[in-house]
A and B are shown apart, each in its own frame.
Chain A
Amino acid sequence: MNNDEQGPMENLLAGLDQHAEALSPEELKAELEERGINLDDGLKTAAMMIKACDKADRLSWMKVADEKSASLRVAEEPAGSWTSRKADEIVAAFNTFISSAKPETALAFRNKGELSVEDMAQILDANESLKRRSVDQDKARP
């Protein structure tokens, strides 16, 4: 027998271990008790450990979801009213809005004649407010 080989007692123990799969729960418990091991104590500790880990796992992901949600809310919030911006920014944004708006909307504003920069800023603010409300309503739909 070289050093890597198991002796008869080691083999006997290993064999009995492998054949333990046929033991009923009661027999298994009794065999462990013979060895001074309380199965119920171990199971109780394991159950607490699994429950705590599961809870921590769920909480950590709820936290991630909350953080994402908060960052999305910040992104959705307006950067500020158009009325406080520079005139050339307001005019450029208004022209972009008119060119991308539906034809009837664009026509309505053109028919209104000459608009002041302040009018343009208020229209842009109103448009963004409408867009945000529309997004919120879409989210609220089941």
Chain B
Amino acid sequence: MPPERVNPEVMAALEQPSWTATFGRAVLHADTTIRKYFWRGFRPKFGAKREITVGGKSANDFVLDAVEKLLEGKRAYDPAKDLLANLNSITDSLIWSEKKRSDRTGIVDYVERVDGDEDRIDPISVAQDADLTADEKLVRDELREDQRRCFKDIRASFDGDREMQEYLDALSEGIFKRVDISEVTGIPVEQLDELRRKLVKYARRFFGVPDFEALQRRLNEGK
């Protein structure tokens, strides 16, 4: 029986000049996926370079695993989507599996889902309220309260910057499409990318915090 050929569509996508940027964005997405687990109670572990890991694997490792699986045909490549969407979908699943296998912290897991319009949404699916014990519900409520307090503090750090606060409000409400944000806030679409740059520049220290106390420490470090 002849050997399984590498999917030519996968190889062609990996040979595109945009591959470098695609890989970087896939790694950023994987790292973000891991960070989001913080807010479900996952206690972060760090690698040698202070990168966040799950089961000893960093975001880089997860994306490399996803590339390998596409090349080996162990994961199907959906030609209707671009390479980044394919990689993101695989890394989400790999991170979810690795977290389930190696890390028992936290109360609930993420599963990635993409709707028919290609709008990325990140619901948390697995555990339902009924599955949580009283203690877990307590932890969940604390984590949710932590999220609200952290967001409030980050938002307050931009007091006086109305556009930034409106941008933050839109994102925190799950409004991600630029046109929708523009419609809700009145901020021109072309200004949103600049707001994102500014937000990351001034508030990047806060995005990696796992809870409100850590955020307070970071805020105090800056004083």
- Genuine A/B complex: yes
Residues of A whose CB lies within 8 Å of any CB of B are 1-23, 25, 27-29, 31-32, 34-39, 41-43, 45-46, 49-50, 53-54, 57, 60-61, 64
Task: Flag if B47 contacts A12 (CB, 8 Å).
Answer: no
| Given A19-B192, A36-B49, A39-B27, A3 contacting B128 (CB threshold 8 A) | yes
| Given A3-B129, A7-B147, A34-B204, A19 contacting B23 (CB threshold 8 A) | no
Given contacts A3-B132, A8-B147, A19-B196, 16 further A-B contacts (CB under 8 A): A11-B173, A12-B168, A13-B35, A15-B175, A19-B192, A22-B196, A31-B200, A35-B28, A35-B52, A37-B49, A42-B23, A43-B23, A45-B64, A46-B67, A53-B71, A61-B2
Chain A residues near B208 (CB-CB < 8 A): 35
Task: Flag if B172 contacts A12 (CB, 8 Å).
Answer: yes
Q: Whole-angstrom distance from the CB of A43 to the nearest CB of chain B?
A: 6
| Given A31-B28, A54-B11, A4 contacting B124 (CB threshold 8 A) | yes
Task: Flag if B174 contacts A6 (CB, 8 Å).
Answer: yes
Task: Flag if B176 contacts A15 (CB, 8 Å).
Answer: yes
Question: 9 shortest A-B CB distances, which residue pairs?
Answer: A15-B171, A7-B147, A8-B172, A36-B51, A36-B50, A8-B151, A22-B193, A42-B60, A60-B3
Chain B residues near A19 (CB-CB < 8 A): 176, 178, 192-193, 196
Cβ-defined partner of A13 (8 Å) among B58, B168, B207: B207
Cβ-defined partner of B59 (8 Å) among A7, A37, A43: A37
A-B contact pairs, 27 of them (CB 8 A): A2-B129, A3-B128, A7-B151, A8-B147, A8-B150, A9-B147, A10-B36, A12-B207, A16-B171, A16-B199, A17-B32, A18-B120, A20-B28, A20-B196, A23-B197, A31-B204, A32-B31, A34-B204, A35-B52, A36-B51, A39-B27, A42-B27, A43-B23, A53-B68, A57-B6, A64-B2, A64-B3
